[in-house]
Amino acid sequence: MNGAQTPSAVARIDAPRPAIIPAPASLTTATSGVYLLASGASIVVPAGDADAKKAADHIADLLQRTRGLTLTVREGDARPGDVVFARSQDAEDAYGLSVTSDGARVTAGSFGGFLYGGVSLWQLATQTSDGPAPIAALTIQDAPRFGWRGVMLDSARHYQSVEFIKQFIDWMSLHKLNRFHWHLTDDQAWRMEIKQYPRLTEVGGWRVDAGAGPRADIDPATGKPRLTGGVYTQDQMRDVVAYAAARNITVVPEIDLPGHASAAVHAYPELGVTDVPGTAVGAVPGDWGIYVTLFNTSDETFRFLENVLDETMAIFPSRFIHLGGDEAVKDEWKKSPAVQARMRELGITDENTMQIWFMTQLSNYLKAHGREMIGWDEILEGGQVPDSTVMSWRGVDGAVQAARLGHDTILAPAPMMYLNNIQSPNDGSPGRGDLVTMQGVYDFNPTPDGMTEEQSRHVIGVQANLWVEHLRTEESVVYMFYPRIAALSELAWTPAAGRNWQDFVTRLTPQFARYDRLGIGYARNALDQTKLPPPPQGQRRYDHQMRSCNNSVPLNVFDDAAGPDGTRATFSMDLFNPCWMYDAADLSSGGQMQISVGQVPFNWQILHDIDNVKVRKPATPYGELEIRVDSCEGAPVAVVNLEAASRNNATTVVNATLPAQTGRHNLCLMFTQPGIDPTWVLDWVRLAPAAN
């Protein structure tokens, strides 16, 4: 016996309604019939078909780990109750899946098709939790809407382990996503080992994070602040590439240039603009935002970049190499006699056009080696880089412009495809403060209005990005990606006419159960879009449960120092005006307020916008917390000196007494401070009646 149940044995067993994410292009259920997938069954593959066997082995392992079903992969004849993988003429990544009471059959013409057909079968088998898995008889014919179904992970701002990267790729494949865009270089780190230039990682892969906490964390071995960072060796990156390929995922590396170059220029100063005073990079920076450091335009720097690309292409077989091109502030190029001389030599009159020339040289180098360049949508400013693919991040206009010019394009726009934004109005987790809901991701239109049918053909895919400035831990990365990645997968895979939000929501219940089995720490409040009322007076009211005074650039940031128990507070603040409103306070008996306060480094490079940050003049060298009633103007009703709190790198609880007033009032809490860095912030507030 093979352990599978015969059709007569399952005639009275009910099977759950099929719940597959992403929804197949075509799914038809039979009027009757249930297949009971049980331990002892086989996955039968064609003789000598390596693609089918590799996919079958993966699915058998997945069923064992997540459903406790033991299946054998073999060649030969199928028996009742078996799963059959059969070769077909289906297109790349397409598959067919048929289920009858006798068994299941997956047909495909590629490894990706076998894998995705198997993943759909796995989802059907994991809608129940124990014993043999009942699966309703059905027929699926499925193929992806887009060839590029991508996720970008920033490993430059904070390093993630190779083990985590592999786990993340595993989970991507279960959503039929197939492009892992790996952001490996930036101002704050160069993570990718380049053997010809070892200082890129030996020096550029490490930094001291901003803030008093990291500065006070002294490494006994050096007597200096402890460095944070990490490096991916070439062997490790090749291992990741192979691991991803076994899950039908292509790893696309990004080397960001000509901007976001501080780590590289610190490691090799001759790569930067050396003929302008004050441009030297003294250390790998720990601040976020936009730096003015650019690579120079000398022949020697191009030889360096070509050598880097040679080693990159030897590691990553991807057709595409991402070369960034974003946020390249041209101040240094404008001031540099050498760059200006190069521009005159080339007949170029402005720096944006000079960047197009810069990117074109490297794009041509990639083309000469059988590769193609992707760049962020700034590569359309000052002209266009021939034969390049444009990744549109500043809204959708870059994609529309690219398509009109005949470029292929990928939609990855902020804020809707930036999953480092919060996902619920009740979310106080670290990240940027724009609300990007799961439904917002699901409903995004990846073929923007205004495109002709011909231009729409240039949209080759859609991608979600995760920038990790404020996400220090791997757990926070997972929390921000999941479950919104499920909405992304259906957006990228399922035909537009086949997507339905309410139906998708019903399919999330078994999907969340799968996440639990896989150990995915997803955001359980992702569907909670009703703003909860703040806790009642007398209980702690955290900063994200209060109103921001103006909410211009909301952020949720980790404390730069841990408390005595090793945990870090998360502060919700506005970048330009840290100020909070405690609404509807009952002050009829006065008030005794406890306030947990902390300090964070102002580690955001915001160029000239720095002049718009509110800094209120203090009465003492340490700053004060000021509390006002019904307005943020006028005289405060309470002032708290922060001298003691300033000596604590973590949070400190301070106290304020509020005078009695009839009725309920909104309280405005703000800080004074001697300078912009560090910035005082709130953690929580508790208001109780004043003691008699």
- Residues 96, 174: one domain? no
Domain boundary among 126, 142, 158: 142
Handedness of CA 215, 216, 221, 223 (dihedral sign): positive
Strand partners, 95: 108, 142
Single-letter code of the amino acid located at 408: D
Does residue 390 fall inside a structural domain? yes
pLDDT tier at 589, thresholds 50, 70, 90: confident
Strand ranges of the sheet holding 652-658, from the earlier edge strand across to the other edge? 541-542, 679-688, 591-600, 652-658
Smallest CA-to-CA distance from 449 within 438, 459, 440, 461 is with 459
- Residues 204, 342: one domain? yes
Does residue 183 fall inside a structural domain? yes
Smallest CA-to-CA distance from 150 within 183, 120, 178 is with 178
What is the DSSP secondary structure assignment for residue 430, as one 8-state letter? S
Which CATH number does the domain housing residue 608 bear?
2.60.120.260
- Residues 583, 484: one domain? no
Does residue 323 fall inside a structural domain? yes
How many beta carbons lie within 10 A of that of residue 514, not counting itself?
A: 20
Catalytic residue among 58, 183, 260, 544: 260
Decide if 372 is catalytic. no
According to the 3-state scheme, what is the secondary structure of 42-70? EEECCCCCHHHHHHHHHHHHHHHHHHCCC
- Residues 473, 551: one domain? no
Per residue in 333-359, pLDDT (tens digit) is 999 999 999 999 999 999 999 999 999
- Residues 52, 194: one domain? no
- Residues 251, 384: one domain? yes
Q: Is the pLDDT of residue 9 over 90?
A: no
3-state secondary structure of 154: strand
3-state secondary structure of 384: coil
Q: 202 φ, ψ to 5°?
A: -60, -35
Strand partners, 83: 43, 104
Per residue in 193-238, pLDDT (tens digit) is 999 999 999 999 999 998 888 888 899 999 999 999 999 999 999 9
- Residues 14, 104: one domain? yes
Which CATH number does the domain housing residue 235 bear?
3.20.20.80
Domain boundary among 94, 126, 142: 142
Does residue 248 fall inside a structural domain? yes
Does residue 454 fall inside a structural domain? yes
Q: Is the pLDDT of residue 564 over 80?
A: no
Per residue in 620-660, pLDDT (tens digit) is 999 999 999 999 999 999 999 999 999 998 899 999 999 99
What percentage of the chain exceeds 90 in pLDDT? 87
- Residues 487, 564: one domain? no
- Residues 355, 381: one domain? yes
- Residues 113, 156: one domain? no
Does residue 174 fall inside a structural domain? yes
Does residue 525 fall inside a structural domain? no
Which CATH number does the domain housing residue 69 bear?
3.30.379.10
- Residues 136, 229: one domain? no
- Residues 331, 243: one domain? yes
In the prediction, which pLDDT does 3 show?
A: 45
Strand partners, 29: 138
- Residue 363: which domain range? 148-518
How many beta carbons lie within 10 A of that of residue 341, not counting itself?
A: 12
Catalytic residue among 92, 170, 327, 586: 327
> How large is the average pLDDT for residues 483-491?
99
Domain boundary among 120, 142, 164: 142
Per residue in 526-561, pLDDT (tens digit) is 999 988 899 999 999 999 999 999 878 899 998 877
Decide if 202 is catalytic. no
Does residue 1 fall inside a structural domain? no
Number of domains in the chain: 3
What percentage of the chain exceeds 70 in pLDDT? 98
In the prediction, which pLDDT does 213 show?
A: 85
Per residue in 463-481, pLDDT (tens digit) is 999 999 999 999 999 999 9
Cα–Cα dist 232/574, whole Å:
35
Catalytic residue among 154, 186, 351, 469: 186
Decide if 544 is catalytic. no
Cα–Cα dist 683/692, whole Å:
27
